[in-house]
Amino acid sequence: MGRALRTNAIFGACLLLLGSAAAPPTDPEQTTTEVLVTKPTIVGFFPPVSAEEIETNPGTREGVAHLEFALSDVAKCLKPRDVSVRLELTRVLIFKLGDRQLRFELSPDWQRAVGAYLVEPNREPRVVYASAGPSSLQFLLPNAAAEYFNEPGCKVEL
């Protein structure tokens, strides 16, 4: 199997695991994503990159993969609940919660450019940044989900 095909297969498999995850934008300049929040939701975010960038840049591919793994792990530990888990390649997230909207401009600084928002109706969102690199989310995100959603099964010990 060729490298490009293998990469696309891995990316596609991870997206299928996440259910409502976003594919790379056809226009990498797309920078705003609106999310209607009607139930507990986790939105992983990564700067907008093209499918070609993911395919050809090992660092980008690895960063996206680490975020996908963290989202997949948290989706599994929250399985008993009806939680929406998705990945967005974006610079701005707008959460629509009933009659109010919350807008979050995502930082271009790599310590805050990758992460996830945990949000549910009638509650303030919580953000988790991949401050030690995208792989740190495999520990940070399940622990944040354990606390935010009161789901001890998500807790990860070092």
Q: Which two tokens stand for residue 126?
A: 């919580």
Return the pLDDT at 27: 52
Give the amino acid at 142. P
Q: Mind listing the pLDDT tens digit for each residue in 104-150?
A: 999 988 889 999 999 999 899 999 999 899 999 999 999 999 999 99
Nearest CA to 77 out of 157, 21, 153 is that of 153
- Whether the pLDDT of residue 49 is over 70: the answer is yes
* Structural domains in the chain plus CATH codes: 3-154 (3.40.30)
Give the tens place of pLDDT for each residue, 59-109: 999 999 999 999 999 999 999 889 999 999 999 999 999 899 999 999 988
Split at pLDDT 50, 70, 90, the class of 13 is: very low
Q: What is the pLDDT of residue 52?
A: 92
Among residues 150, 140, 132, the alpha carbon closest in space to that of 71 is found at 140
Instruction: Tell me how far apart the alpha carbons of residues 71 and 93 are, in angstroms, rounded to a whole number.
Output: 17
This prediction's pTM: 0.81
